[in-house]
Structure 1
Amino acid sequence: MENITKFQNDFQHSLSISRYLFTPIYSLVLFFGLIGNLGALYYFIFKIKQKSPSNIYIINLAVADMLFLFALPFRIHYHLNDSNWIFGDAMCRITGTIFFANIYISISFMTCICVDRYIATLHPHTYLQLRNTNLTALVSTAVWLVSGSAMLVFMLKCPLTSKGNMCFEGFSQKEWSDLAPYSISSLIFGSLLPSAVILVCYPIVAHRIARIKNSTARGARRIIYAILAITLLCFLPYHIVHLVYLLTRLKNTKENDVIFILRRVTMALVSLNSILDPLLYYFATGHYKWRLKRLRLRKKTGRYRSCKTVARVLCLVAREWLGSCQ
């Protein structure tokens, strides 16, 4: 009982931080995120008839962002009212689960885009074979099924809070112990592994694309660095701080103000991915006219015979991602 009281006192002491940090940031994310992601969905669904694997992953990423934006008005109201939840337990579970699941769904589809670009750039022959299969749809379905199953378990099994008017906050040590398996599993499989793939694959792709001296290659590198920036800015800081925060709770250590503030700041940063994701769509479609080209191997040889032709393949792959080769 003393532990619960201690944690609740710490939480109540920091309510003003949450109110003045989350309310303006979430409001901006909601406004600009709706504009960017609705525009992206309209463009990629209705304007692009022949969709590449990256197009499909971008559509899924935008859908995940829209689900996250659905939960934001509830969180904004919650923080405006000094963390007083009035929408009932069911909506707390639904919106809270969607809010945190977006982190892992978004980074999963960004990883899919990463792997797609990696294969297209370093293994163009394999890419030609895979892009005409149902592999992209199967991968997208698998991401949603795994994420949906985890969300359902989290929604039904995890505690809401140790106090009736809070939602996914103010947990006691026992409740943090109950949350630990979900948090650790999410950290490993939902963040560390995808982040490792992104941080390893994209520099390799960037190095390969750097050999192509044209505007398309420069644009491709901009997208590569943009995704790296989103990963480093939005996702990794949150999970690092969340891990430290979780360990302090499990050890029954008094939460200090620095950890609390860092956790709040990184939670605000992670929400910015719904604004930054549309910037990736803009890089892909804004300055360049999106052109979908099928890459065809020569029927007689079944392969490309020269380094010059291979460079052309890489140029066309980048062209599919950004625009036309100059």
Structure 2
Amino acid sequence: MKLGRLALGAAGLLLLVLIVFAMLDEPVSLDLRGAELEDMVFVAGGAFRVGATLQTVEAFYVDRFEVTEREWARFRKATGRGPLPYWKGLRRDPDDPVRYVNLQDAKDFAHWKGKELPTNLQWERASQGEGGKRFPWGDGFLLAANTAELWEGQVESWGVTRVGTFERGRSAVGAYDMIGNVWEWTRSRTDERLHVTGRVEEGQGDRFIIRGGAFDTPIRGRADLEEAVPARTRRWDLGFRCVIAEAAYRRQERIFAALRELGYRHGWLHGLALKAAERDLVDEGEAALPYLEQAKQRAGNHPWLQERIQRIIERIHGGS
């Protein structure tokens, strides 16, 4: 009887020790960077009308506003990137859309944010009014965007406005300035044009589609607002916004959840969860590699965690 009580007491003490260890075993915070949905709007997937045809897209999120000077400044500070070639003396407000970005600039920013540039189809879907209307606000022309019509008689003063200025110009999904302010890069090449009347700018190298027009673009009587320009183009009326597919965002969340589990040092306390996290990351395959590399870099003060992450990277590369 006495031995039984002693054994029971020892088991209870061991359980208490394990509980204390589990409480003290806080995961390493990796502060991973990925897409944030706070300033994005949801765009439902499915079929939608473009002219006389039906097109289909998967669900995605799109930036509510064009990327601003303020956001670009944060990007520059974080990455050590050099300045853009603005004209000297050009007025610039932190909430203005950033300009003079070429295609690679825009892609680099999008990658830094865990996003990407929209395809031409995604841009078209995000910009449409209800039921595939011609403009975000409907089929009829209105002074509801920063376009050339707004500046008639005062062309010497025209320029960009702060993002989100034109409430009436919002698209049906809630995206601002899809028409006017600045043209916006897409990642689609010329052969993915949706409106064959769009202008194709001559120049060296591949050309990519830009959409939406700008403050210096007349839109009355024009339906396409689609052009194709060389990838290295930098203009005072050209900016961008970003997207992320809903499926890609959900995948990112799964990867982040698994990476958080890796941060527990004492695997014997979290064995099942750790094995499940490792299996989930390997199953994600190459899609997980950028996040694993980021996590490995952020784990610099924890060699045991770097080694754990490296083993998973090697398993993915090895296909096991």
Q: Which band: TM-score by shorter chain?
A: under 0.3
Give me the TM-score of the superposition, normalised by structure 1.
0.24
Between 1 and 2, higher relative CO (CA 8 Å, sep ≥ 6) is seen in 1
The structure carrying a bigger helix percent of its residues is 1
The structure carrying a bigger strand percent of its residues is 2
Q: Greater CA radius of gyration, 1 or 2?
A: 2
Give me the TM-score of the superposition, normalised by structure 2.
0.25
